């Protein structure tokens, strides 16, 4: 009986050892491929956390990544610029990215594109999972990001520390896709959208979002972040970029309340092209195409020159 128990324990330990080795080997291989990505959302996040050193940085959600052309800004102002916008995020992502960048260096300019959903309260509790999935690959390399994830999802941190493969288990497909050059391309973070899904008849619509509710944790972090930016004497431009979907209740009162402490105010370009043929400037109702983004970036350049 003892010999059988000994054999079982021996095999079990051997199995654990094999699993550990395989996890480490495949986790390391995927990690190396992940950090070599040159395209895709993850590559933008990686660049922000590890390499970004430009004079001007652009932050925000998909409207940021598709609306601001860094090369035009760089050529006009004779500075370096990079677009760090990412699709499908809220302010918790931008807070993590901006504060992480500020731990490494001070850019001269920051453009922050405000989105309608930046501060909205997460009634379903899914945002913490989205935030975690975006940043989990950096847990073993970035103690600051690790702490931010731990605050909202400590179990995921433990899992990523035990298994190297766990943090990357949903990424091999996208890594392969970008390695093959398939999918959206970016130029200094800017992802151009071409053509349009609209007709000349498509106009702006104002939605009555009476259930709008803000997350006080996010608004507090916004206040803290703006204070840090101002203390560092970084020139800040907070903007609402063009969109055809408008809302009765927005985060602008909260944003402007914080900015007013420093003599600043949001620049609202949401109606900048209201009289134009939207089918020529917009890819869809919330994102401009490359032609529209070119015109819009010129407006931003004029504000930056002021």
CA–CA separation, 273 vs 68, rounded Å? 15
Are the CB atoms for 301 and 76 separated by under 8 Å? yes
**Per-residue pLDDT tens over the stretch 238-253:** 999 999 999 999 999 9
Are the CB atoms for 158 and 13 separated by under 8 Å? no
Average pLDDT over residues 270-293: 88
| Position 192 pLDDT exceeds 90 | yes
Q: Could you tell me which CATH class the domain 20-305 is placed in?
A: alpha beta
| Position 14 pLDDT exceeds 90 | no
| Position 13 pLDDT exceeds 80 | no
Are the CB atoms for 229 and 103 separated by under 8 Å? no
Cβ atoms within 10 Å of 109's Cβ, excluding its own: 18
Higher pLDDT, 16 or 266: 266
Are the CB atoms for 72 and 302 separated by under 8 Å? no
Mean pLDDT of all residues belonging to the chain: 91
Question: Which pLDDT score is estimated for 8?
Answer: 67
Using the CB atoms, write b or e for 218-227: b if 16+ within 10 Å. Answer: bbebbbebbe
Least confident among 2-16, 176-190, 203-217: 2-16
Q: What percent of the chain has pLDDT over 70?
A: 97
| Phi and psi torsions of 16, nearest 5° | -60, -40
DSSP assignment letter at 207: E
CA–CA separation, 305 vs 294, rounded Å? 17
**Per-residue pLDDT tens over the stretch 20-73:** 878 788 888 989 999 998 888 999 999 999 999 999 999 999 999 999 999 999
Are the CB atoms for 112 and 60 separated by under 8 Å? yes
Q: So where are the chain's domains?
A: 20-305
Question: Which pLDDT score is estimated for 2?
Answer: 62
């Amino acid at each position: 009986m003892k010999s059988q128990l000994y054999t079982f324990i021996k095999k079990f330990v051997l199995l654990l050892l094999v699993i550990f080795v395989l996890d480490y080997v495949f986790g390391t291989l995927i990690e190396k491929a992940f950090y070599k990505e040159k395209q895709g959302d993850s590559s933008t996040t990686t660049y922000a956390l590890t390499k970004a050193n430009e004079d001007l940085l652009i932050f925000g959600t998909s409207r940021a990544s598709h609306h601001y052309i860094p090369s035009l800004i760089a050529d006009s102002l004779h500075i370096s610029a990079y677009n760090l916008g990412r699709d499908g995020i809220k302010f918790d992502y931008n807070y993590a990215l901006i504060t992480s960048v500020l731990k490494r260096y001070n850019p001269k300019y920051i453009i922050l594109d405000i989105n309608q959903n930046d501060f909205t309260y997460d009634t379903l509790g899914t945002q913490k999972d989205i935030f975690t999935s975006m940043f989990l690959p950096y847990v073993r390399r970035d103690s600051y990001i690790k702490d931010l994830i731990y605050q909202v999802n400590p179990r995921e941190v433990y899992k990523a520390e035990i298994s190297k493969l766990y943090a990357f288990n949903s990424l091999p497909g996208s890594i392969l896709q970008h390695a093959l050059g398939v999918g959206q391309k970016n130029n200094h973070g800017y992802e151009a959208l071409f053509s349009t899904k609209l007709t000349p008849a498509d106009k702006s619509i104002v939605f009555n979002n009476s259930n709008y509710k803000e997350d006080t944790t996010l608004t507090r972090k916004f206040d803290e972040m703006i204070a840090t930016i101002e203390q560092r004497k970084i020139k800040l431009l907070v903007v609402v970029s063009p969109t055809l979907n408008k809302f009765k209740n927005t985060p602008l009162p909260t944003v402007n309340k914080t900015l007013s402490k420093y003599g600043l105010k949001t620049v609202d370009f949401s109606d900048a092209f209201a009289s134009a043929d939207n089918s020529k400037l917009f890819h869809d109702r919330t994102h401009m195409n490359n032609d529209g983004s070119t015109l819009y970036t010129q407006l931003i350049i004029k504000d930056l020159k002021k």
